[in-house]
Chain A
Amino acid sequence: MIRWILLCSTLLAVAHAPARAGNDASDLERRVKAAYLYKFAGYVEWPDSSFPDPTTPVRIAVLGDDKLRAELSTMVLGHTVNGRAVLVSGYSEQDSLDGLHVLYVGRSEAARLAKLKDEARKRSVLLVSEGDDAIDQGSVIAFVLSRRRVRFDISVAGATKSGLTLSSRLLSVARTVVTAGI
């Protein structure tokens, strides 16, 4: 286990790490989630209308977890996804989902998932949240902790309803792939 911790901490220096005991653990967890969040974009295919321009950046919005947002903002500097720049922004209730590609809903805002779901699906926004019940509430990808490591579940049905195509390679590393559901 120590080996794993050591390995992960050095390997994914700023990006990700398995969960740890105490506050530090949530920091590490948050960093891993941030890294995963922007890496998901590499395995997702959006409809053409989502990227009207070859230079259109991938926009990721974070709701209900500012620390993660800050982490992510730092992380994506100098990185690209599919050759596109990555923009990270916060999200507030009055903000439009237009132009967004990925929306992360933190645990504190989980109650709004159901409300955001329809809007996200309509605009082909990849809805990512966390928790074992997140998929049921309309999330396409949901972070879960499995054996103290950050894993994720995927709802293929949700992706399809959102007009998104997920790479099978992404599915191969998911903890659970849900094909039926809302």
Chain B
Amino acid sequence: MIFSGVRRSIRRKFMLVVMATTLVALLLASIALVTYDLLTYKRTWVADLSTQADILGLASAPALSFQDPKTAEENLGLLSVRPNVTAAAIYTADGRIFASYRRDSSDTTPLPAHPGPAGHEAGAREISLFRPIVTPDEQLGWVYLRARYDLTGRLLSYLAIVVGVMLASLTVAALMSVALQASVIRPILAIADVAHEVKDRRNFAARVPKTTEDETGYLVETFNDMLGQVGQRTEDLERANRRLEQEVAVRQSAEHALIEADRRKDEFLATLAHELRNPLAPLRNALHILREAGPGSEEGKVARDIMDRQLRQLVRLVDDLLDVSRITTGKVVLQRESVPLATIIEGALETVRPFVGERGIALSVTTPQVPLMLRADPTRMAQALTNLLHNAAKFTDAGGRIELRVEREGLDGITIVVADTGIGIPADMLSFIFDMFTQLDRSLERPYSGLGVGLSLAKHLIELHGGTLEAASEGQGKGTRFTARLPGIVVFEPSPRGPHATDGGASAAPARRRVLLADDNADFTSSFALMLRSMGHDVIEAYDGAEALQAARSLQPEVAFLDIGLPKMNGYELARRLREDPATRRIVLVAVTGWGQDGDRKLAAEAGFDLHLVKPVESAQIETIFAGLGSMPLRPA
């Protein structure tokens, strides 16, 4: 591990510093001490020997004086207490040996034959000296001393001592350095630990515990700060990277989508040119026939029919284009109102029937027994249905069948199914068929393939109504089934107990109704009243709100067409009053106004209106309303 190498290295260096310092200091001190000692050793030794000799001389003076060598020998014998003195002698004044001493009897080193001169002589291993024996009056003789002068031995013993002291000192120093390491090295090792942790695991949250207040402590603090900053920056960088990656991914998918859309648009343009051009040839031909044969002739009639069909085809194309443009720019706004389901279905069938008939396809329609009132935009809903039926007809060959079936779903929903026996859709294409400008079959045999917007439009329109559209096919040649589910779209529950219930469908003959008509525009009132009467209804006219309220109370109409901008009492107020009064509560209230915005419809609904018509009112709308009255719920009395 690198880490332990660092640890060992610092420890070793620290130890080395301590040991080297100790060693050098000890060496220098030892050298100084030994040098001094060796210098003084000789001087001291000589002085010591001289003193010894003088004492011996003094003690032996009487022996010399009175010729008593025995006493002198005895005196010399005392030297046995000085082990370093190996030999000694006393000489008489005229140079004869008077007494002698040898520490070791086997020592055969000869004594000097003649004394003097006074002084010492130091050899490598021994030192010898002569001292005169002097009384104040005369010199009696000489003392000779010979002693071991073991400089090498002394040096060696010093060396031994120094080595011993050094070993002891180094041991103590090593122990002390180990103890001191704790305070000096441990923080550094802690930094190394954390650095290791950061390097290996990129853990920038790691921190070094601060234990000292010295430079190491400062280092720890700075290191921690640095870690924090590096960690912060790394995190920022990674975050920025992630954001960039996401952006790149988003951009790439957007680019793909753009490329795809561009491709489809190119296809669409090609198709559009083709489709727009298709009707032009028959039109020109028909025009030619008309010019040649004249409008009254049999050929002229055929030509007119051709022109009619082709023009309708062109109009549909242009309408679809406009719708595509609106949908792509989000400008389609539903004009929702209460409308009988039968009206919508009839509208759709009316558009597609000629085309279906031309192609020799059987079309069957199944609707619920009970007529339903829907809250829907009749035009858009019919358009969606038309597109589905048209699509079915286009891809079904002659002799095939198309089935349109509407069923109740849940409390207030319906399901519309358009199924055909046509060419079907491959399973892998099912998810794409609702995409704008998608066309599965571009074969020339299918001259009515269209722009590829019909299904997409249908899906959009149904979704705008809060519903869903799905396609299903068991495969190529096995037909296709489109299922539109529209929850929450039924506004009027069928009421079998209702007094005016009819068991007829949308095609049932309208009943005779009592109708209140209130509008301050006399021309409108009169023309509207004329139209209602022509339909066989009883009409009460009123020209302001108060009058209308009174008439409603007294005459108890079944239906009231009320203007909103009425004098004296506006339409909303009037509706509210009528709803409050139990006598008039059950009247079906229809707002007739020049304002058709969603906000206006909302206000009307809140005031109590059942329906909302925008001027000018067409007779078909009135008929639809009266046709749907049978399914109107009874308002609680």
Contact = CB atoms under 8 A, between A and B. Distances in A.
Interface of A: 7-8, 10-13, 16, 18, 32, 36, 39, 42-43, 79-83, 149-150, 152, 167, 169-170, 172-173
Lowest 5 CB-CB distances: which A-B pairs, in order? A173-B68, A169-B62, A173-B66, A80-B137, A173-B62
A58 to B, nearest CB: 11
B190 to A, nearest CB: 82
B137 A83 contact: yes
B92 to A, nearest CB: 5
Given A10-B94, A39-B65, A39-B66, A172 B71 contact: yes
B92 A11 contact: yes
Nearest to A39: B65
Contacts of B602: none
5 contacts: A11-B94, A43-B62, A149-B67, A169-B58, A169-B61
Interface string B119-152: 0000000000000000111100000000000000
Contacts of A8: 67
A13 B62 CA distance: 18
A153 to B, nearest CB: 13
A62 B493 CA distance: 187
B288 interface: no
A79 B63 contact: no
Nearest to A168: B62
Interface of B: 58-59, 61-63, 65-68, 71, 92, 94, 96, 135-138
Nearest to A175: B68
Given A169-B61, A172-B62, A42 B67 contact: no
Contact of B137 (A82, A149, A167): A82
A170 B58 CA distance: 12
A42 B137 contact: yes
Contacts of A169: 58-59, 61-62
A49 to B, nearest CB: 22
Nearest to B138: A79
A83 B137 CA distance: 6
B575 to A, nearest CB: 164
A154 B494 CA distance: 177
B526 to A, nearest CB: 183
Contacts of B62: 43, 167, 169-170, 172-173
A157 B292 CA distance: 203
B71 A82 contact: no
Given A43-B62, A169-B61, A169-B62, A12 B67 contact: yes
Nearest to B135: A42
B397 to A, nearest CB: 168
A162 B456 CA distance: 167
Contacts of A42: 65, 135, 137
A152 B62 CA distance: 13
B71 A173 contact: yes
A12 B92 CA distance: 10
A80 B59 CA distance: 20
A16 B64 CA distance: 12
A172 B135 CA distance: 17
A144 B66 CA distance: 13
A109 B59 CA distance: 35
Contacts of B66: 36, 39, 152, 170, 173
A156 B576 CA distance: 171
Nearest to A11: B92
A29 B391 CA distance: 180
A16 B137 contact: no
B147 to A, nearest CB: 25
B183 to A, nearest CB: 71
Contact of A83 (B58, B61, B94, B136): B136
Given A11-B94, A11-B96, A170-B62, A81 B67 contact: no
A154 B261 CA distance: 155
A173 B66 CA distance: 7
A82 B136 contact: yes
Contacts of A10: 94, 96
Contacts of A81: 137
Given A42-B137, A170-B66, 12 more contacts: A7-B96, A10-B94, A11-B92, A11-B94, A13-B94, A36-B66, A39-B65, A42-B135, A167-B62, A169-B61, A169-B62, A172-B71
A126 B269 CA distance: 170
A83 B138 CA distance: 10
Contacts of A16: 67
A172 B137 CA distance: 21
Nearest to A43: B62
Nearest to A13: B94
B93 to A, nearest CB: 8
Nearest to A8: B67
Nearest to A84: B137
B233 to A, nearest CB: 103
B94 to A, nearest CB: 6
